[in-house]
């Protein structure tokens, strides 16, 4: 649970402090800074922003740094030179030591891209969930980023005749080791989704076939061990100059009966499926972390019809909820006592 948040030079807030209750509703016009508050909380949770590729873009324009503070936890991002510092109880920590201390589940309108967007967006979804439930997963994801950077550079050098293919052996081994960790955690989560998702979705959309999640590994449909397969594809990767196989090439596919959801679902049905996914995510993080995550809702009531909204409201009592809305009247829909923060332009 989060009780207090202090911001300095974060987006639209030169200096601000907020208090939170089990249910907090942030009300204000579009562009008023509501989402910035959720973004700051989310960054304390997973150390990066879901809204930008570069974390230093959250720094107020013209300022040298920003700071986000919750209780014993602090995040500082500096512009020039760039650095990001994470602290707990005043002691600097590494990323894997911070992620998961404040578990969160984010639900915002663009999450529909989990169903319809690129594989990269679904991988980001998996990473957000699993980095909060497994330190090993977080470490493996961070290590893979380093391995791929080095391996891709070497592949280009080999293609240019400036290095030998034998030099790939070390990086192949590093990629294989971390790939196995990542696949294990992803497979466990997909298996959990396939246990829980069909029943939850069927309660909201009783007509139609069963929904399922398929995990597309990389490489796909191959019986050979990863290292052996990659060795067999050596010339193909050298020609491409990039790593063609590994966790950065994996995907999940949501199906409804015999078809993918983008071929078979209406907008309302897909919104119901997304809501069901978020409810499964809440349950999974609660189960694995043994801590109830904070539910961050960014102006999503307008995206849900009355039935789906009631379904979401039914889980509020079990979690701390911090939500944004443009209409103060929506606070009355929640049906329980709440703290209202009024944000102005």
Any idea where the domains of the chain sit in the sequence? 1-103+292-345, 111-290
What is residue 277's predicted lDDT score, i.e. its pLDDT?
96
Q: Which CATH code, of 4.10.520.10, 1.20.1050.90, 3.50.50.60, 3.30.499.10, is assigned to 111-290?
A: 1.20.1050.90
Alpha helix stretches (DSSP H) within 205-266: 226-232, 234-240, 261-264
Q: Are strands 91-93 and 65-70 parallel, antiparallel or unpaired?
A: unpaired
What is residue 301's predicted lDDT score, i.e. its pLDDT?
81
Counting as low any pLDDT under 50, the low residues of the chain are none
**103: phi then psi, degrees, rounded to nearest 5:** -65, 140
pLDDT digit string, tens, across residues 172-189: 999 999 999 999 999 999
Read off the tokens for 116. Answer: 């319809």
What is residue 332's predicted lDDT score, i.e. its pLDDT?
60
What is residue 304's predicted lDDT score, i.e. its pLDDT?
80
Alpha helix stretches (DSSP H) within the chain: 34-46, 95-98, 113-116, 119-131, 135-159, 168-204, 226-232, 234-240, 261-264, 267-289, 306-313
What is residue 345's predicted lDDT score, i.e. its pLDDT?
54
Distance separating alpha carbons of residues 248 and 235, to the nearest angstrom: 19
Radius of gyration of the chain (CA): 22
What is residue 336's predicted lDDT score, i.e. its pLDDT?
66
Q: Assess contact for 292 and 208: CB atoms under 8 A.
A: no
What is residue 334's predicted lDDT score, i.e. its pLDDT?
65
Q: Within 13 Å of residue 93, how many CA atoms lie on the same side as its CB? A: 19
What is residue 329's predicted lDDT score, i.e. its pLDDT?
67
pLDDT digit string, tens, across residues 5-14: 999 999 999 9
Distance separating alpha carbons of residues 141 and 145, to the nearest angstrom: 6
Architecture of domain 1-103+292-345: 3-Layer(aba) Sandwich (3.40)
What is residue 208's predicted lDDT score, i.e. its pLDDT?
84
């Amino acid at each position: 649970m989060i009780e207090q948040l202090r911001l300095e030079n974060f987006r639209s807030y030169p200096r601000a402090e907020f208090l939170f209750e089990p249910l907090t509703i942030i009300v204000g016009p579009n562009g008023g800074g509501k989402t910035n508050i959720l973004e700051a909380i989310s960054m304390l949770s997973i150390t990066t922003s879901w809204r930008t590729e570069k974390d230093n873009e959250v720094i107020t324009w013209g300022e040298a740094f920003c700071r986000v503070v919750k209780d014993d936890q602090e995040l500082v991002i500096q512009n020039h030179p760039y650095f990001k510092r994470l602290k707990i109880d005043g002691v600097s920590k590494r990323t894997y030591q911070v992620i998961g201390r404040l578990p969160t589940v984010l639900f915002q309108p663009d999450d529909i891209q989990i169903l319809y967007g690129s594989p990269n967006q679904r991988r980001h979804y998996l990473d957000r969930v699993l980095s909060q439930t497994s330190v090993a997963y977080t470490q493996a994801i961070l290590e893979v980023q380093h391995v791929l950077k080095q391996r891709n550079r070497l592949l280009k050098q080999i293609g240019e005749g400036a290095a030998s293919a034998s030099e790939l052996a070390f990086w192949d081994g590093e990629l294989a080791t971390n790939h196995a960790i990542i696949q294990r955690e992803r497979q466990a989560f997909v298996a959990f989704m396939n246990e829980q998702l069909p029943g939850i979705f069927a309660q909201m959309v009783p007509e139609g076939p069963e929904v399922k999640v398929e995990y597309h590994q990389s490489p796909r449909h191959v019986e050979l061990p990863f290292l052996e397969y990659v060795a067999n594809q050596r010339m193909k990767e050298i020609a491409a100059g990039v790593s063609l196989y590994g966790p950065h090439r994996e995907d999940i596919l949501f199906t409804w009966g015999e078809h993918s959801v983008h071929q078979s679902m209406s907008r309302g049905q897909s919104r119901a499926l997304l809501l069901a996914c978020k409810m499964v995510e809440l349950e999974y993080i609660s189960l694995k972390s043994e801590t109830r995550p904070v539910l961050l809702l960014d102006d999503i009531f307008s995206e849900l019809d009355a039935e789906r909204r009631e379904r979401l409201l039914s889980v509020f009592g079990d979690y701390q909820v911090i939500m944004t809305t443009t209409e103060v009247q929506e606070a009355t829909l929640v049906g329980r006592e709440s703290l209202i923060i009024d944000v102005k332009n």
